[in-house]
Structure formats: C-alpha cells, structure tokens
Amino acid sequence: MTENTPLSPPPRRTLSARARWAVPAVVAVGVGVAFAAPPLLASADSSGLPPVTPEELVAAVASAEPQALSGTVVYTARLGLPSLPFGPETADPVNLLDGSSTLRVWTDGGERSRVALLGDMSEFSVVHDGPEAWTYASSGDEVVHYTVSDADRARYESMKDEATSGRAAGQVPGGADLPTPAEAASQVLDRAEQFSDVSLDAESTVAGRGAYQLVVTPKTPGTLVARVVVAIDAKTDTPLRVQVWSTKDAQTPALEVGFTDVTFATPSDSVLAFSAPAGASVTEKVVTLPTDEQIAADHAKAASGTGLPEGVTVSGTGWATVVQATGVDGPALVAGDPSALADAPSGRPTIGSESAQGLLDQFGPQDGGGPASKFQGIDPATLYDSLTTKVPQGHLISSALLSVLITDDGRVLAGAVPPETLQAMA
C-alpha cells in the first residue's frame, strides 16, 4: 500500500502488511489460551484416586484430625431472593444472603482461627483465639470483643485439658466456629443416612486438589433440596466444598461454599492474634459458658424432642420439616426491630443447608445493629411488601431452598418445602 512513497517502512524489514497484522492476532489467541488453559487443565487432571465406599469416606471425615490450613473460600448463593435495597460495596455479613462473597480463612486446626469477609475496600473479620474472640468491621472501625468471666475461664482451661480433640474447643463462646466446609459437612453427614440416600459421584478437582464427591439425595420428594454434594479432599479428608442443589434449578447449585485455594500449613502467629486498633470503638461482651448441667439438660431436651420454645411446633420429618411459630410481627421484623422477635421462638428454621445456616449464625446481626441500620429511612411496610409476595393466606417469601409464609394472624411457617405445602398447612 505504501510501497512507492518515500515514507514506507525500510526494505530491510521483510514482513508484509498481512504478516504484521497477523502478530496481534497471534498474541490475542495466545493471551486467550493462557487465561483459559489453567482451569481446563485442572479439571482434566482428576482421576486416579483410590476407590472408596461412601461409608469409608464418611468415617474418614469423621475421624480426620482438624487440619491447620489457610485458604480462600468463595460462597455463592443463588436463592432467587428479591434484591435488597443497598449495594454490596462494603464487607457486610448481610451480603451472604445473595450473590457471591469471598472469605479468607486461617486456622491452626485447634482453637485459633481468623475468618475475613472481603469487600472491595473493606473487610469484616472474626478472630478466635482460645477463650477470646473479636469481630472487626473496617467500614465502621468497630470492634466487638467477646470474653468469658474469670470463673468460666478457669473452667474452660480445665475443659480444654480434658478435650484435646478440638471438638470441645469448637463450642467456645463467641460463636467463632469456622464456616469452613469442614464444619458444614460433618453436620450434613450426621443426619444424612436417616432421610437420604448417600452415594459417590465422579471424582473432582477443588482448589487444585483431587477430591471425592459425596452426594446426599433426600428420599422424600416433598422438599426443595434436590441434593447436597460434598467434595472431600482425598489426601487429608478435609471437606473442600459443599453444594446445595435446588429442585428448581438443575444447572447451578443454589448454595455453594468451597475453597478456591487452600494450603495445609499452620498460619503465622500474627494472623491468628488480634488487638483492637487505636481509635476503634470497642464493645466488650462477656459470654457465660453453659454449665455441665445445662449442657446435659439441652442434650436431654433435644433427644426427647421437647426442647422447642413455647409457640413453636414442628411437623414433618427430615428434609420436609416445617417449623411453625406464632406471635411474629412481619413488617416490624423486616424493619430490623429486634422486639418483633421478642415473643418469637429462638429456634431457627433449618434451611436445608447447614453451611448456610452456619454462616448466618456466624455473621448474623448482633443486637439488631448491622444490616438493620441500613434500612433507616425506608418505610418498613413498603419494604415488607416489596420483599414478599401477597398470597391469600398472608405474605410469602419464596427462594430456591427455603419458603417462608407469614400469615396475617401472626404465624410464621418455614421449611425447605415448596410454598404450596406451606399454604396448604396455613
């Protein structure tokens, strides 16, 4: 094109114009391959694990020592909930209700751990160090420090000496149980056999590690949960990922929490320690440890099934359980008014996924602060109407895994069942 102009490229360069334009094309293809190849290679390399039976796998998980590890956990909820009227910019536990969240997890396998929920420019941390625990929200520079009283502390120390397994240490107040897949999976497996079929799926790769996949399928058709898939690391028997599939969506799991990368090594001491930064607002909370008698009584209640608070009834079994409670003021509850729950049961509905439940318990609002305060300036009744669907029996919140029906006479029905079941019961 420019061969005869004085300004053409010098002749010693032999590349034609076409060859020159081929260079960016080749580079573009190379870049595409470089970004697409690693995930493809990783998923291809997932064979050759020794065969196991589901029973062996569950036993191995149950007996596995808690591992010291650090890693990144991605939690994704596709519950089909109406979107909340505030953005996901800051690291706030309420964002775990929907969408994707990234957490960093460090634990020494015992009683020291740190979990950080990452936001773009913010972080919400939960640090658990023996009998103490802290939460820190970077957006408000707020620290909550949980401690136990001196007497309880002495008792805790003796308990710790007795129970070196780490299981008992997991009961430490402060609620700093790790929302790792490990905790979630062991609970799922405990209940699995009674109401579900347990089988093994094809081996998979999670966080670059070969993993077995345990599939728990509910026996009853009357639930929204299609199946729960737990991926278990072949080497350490640590659960690496939990997926909960809804009957409404066969393509993607409704809830997914799993490691995207994990390192099995004890984290550095500085990560597992915490002290409140200067200038932060610190709230001190003393937690009372339950006494041995209380624990025994709770176990007895749970065993006999009479442990429910007043006003709460449970119907159905297993996956199709429906919890019914009376005396709840719907709009006030949505507005984040804790008094709306004053006469409501303390028993929470099981939402089919213990992992999500654990996360909600972990990061749930304390004292109606946190998420609720974001609703300031929004009319609770309007918000209530926009979040719920009006049905003849009252108001319905329907999601991929959980249905909640709030009747006009103040009853709440909840369960991992189709909304029609609740409406029929109301």
Which residues on neighbouring strands pair with residue 43, listed in sequence order? none
Please report whether residue 200 would count as binding another protein according to CB under 8 A: no
User: Which residue number, 70 or 407, has a Cβ lying nearer to another protein?
Assistant: 70
Helix or strand holding residue 226 (H, E): strand 225-233
Question: DSSP assignment of 120-157, as one string?
Answer: SS-EEEEEEETTEEEEEETTTTEEEEEEE-HHHHHHHH
User: Looking only at residues 122 through 151 of this chain, which bind another protein when binding is defined by CB under 8 A?
Assistant: 122-123, 125, 134, 136, 138, 141, 143
Q: How far apart are CA 417 and CA 224, in angstroms?
A: 5
Tally Cβ neighbours within 10 Å of residue 87: 10
Residue 104 binds another protein (CB under 8 A): yes
Among 144, 271, 396, 413, binds another protein (CB under 8 A): 271
Amino acid occupying residue 267: P
Q: What angle do CA 219, 228, 48 make, to 5 degrees?
A: 115
As to burial, measured by CB atoms within 10 angstroms (0-12 exposed, 13-18 middle, 19+ buried), residue 58 is buried
Structure tokens at 381: 């009744």
Min separation Cβ 125 and another protein, Å: 5
Among 40, 41, 121, 302, binds another protein (CB under 8 A): 121
**Rounded to the nearest whole angstrom, what is the least distance from the CB of residue 9 to another protein in the complex?**
6
Report in angstroms how near the CB of residue 235 gets to another protein at its nearest.
Answer: 21
Judged by CB under 8 A, the number of residues near another protein is 52
Output 5 or 306, the one with its CB closest to another protein.
5
Tokens of 331: 């709009």
Residue 39 engages another protein in binding (rule: CB under 8 A):
no
Rank residues 24 and 50 by Cβ distance to another protein and give the closer one.
Answer: 24
182 binds another protein (CB under 8 A): no
Least distance between another protein and beta carbon 122 (Å): 6
Per-residue binder mask for another protein (CB under 8 A), 225-264, x = binder: ------------------------------------x---
Min dist CB 93 to another protein, Å, is 15
What whole-number distance in Å separates Cα of residue 73 and Cα of residue 325?
34
Q: From the CB of 279, what's the least distance to another protein, in Å?
A: 5
User: Contact 233/239 with Cβ under 8 angstroms?
Assistant: yes
For residue 216, state whether it binds another protein (rule: CB under 8 A): no
Does 33 engage in binding with another protein (CB under 8 A)? no
Q: Which of 14, 47, 63, 270 binds another protein (CB under 8 A)?
A: 270
Asked if 297 interacts with another protein (CB under 8 A), we say no
DSSP state of 340: G
Residues in CB range of 192: below 8 A, 6 or more apart: 58, 198, 216
Longest dimension (CA), the chain: 99
| 90 or 321: CB nearest another protein | 90
From residue 6 to residue 25, the character string flagging contacts with another protein as x (rule: CB under 8 A) and all else as - is xxxxxxxx---x--xx-xx-
Task: Give whichever of 28 and 342 is closer to another protein, judged by the CB atom.
Answer: 28
Could you give the CA distance from residue 153 to residue 277 in angstroms, rounded to a whole number?
24
C-beta of residue 219 within 8 angstroms of C-beta of residue 318: yes
Site for another protein contains 5 (CB under 8 A):
yes
Instruction: Report the distance separating Cα 426 and Cα 408, nearest Å.
Output: 10
Pairwise CA distance, residues 317 & 293, whole Å: 29
Burial 389-407 (b: 16+ CB within 10 A, else e): eebebbbbbbbbbbbbbbb
Cβ proximity to another protein: between 138 and 147 the closer is: 138
Closer by beta carbon to another protein, 3 or else 293? 3
DSSP secondary-structure letter at 344?
A: S
Nearer to another protein, 72 or 220 (CB): 72
The footprint of another protein (CB under 8 A) covers 1-2, 4-13, 17, 20-21, 23-24, 27-28, 30-31, 34-35, 70, 72, 89, 104, 106, 114, 116, 118, 120-123, 125, 134, 136, 138, 141, 143, 261, 268, 270-271, 274-280
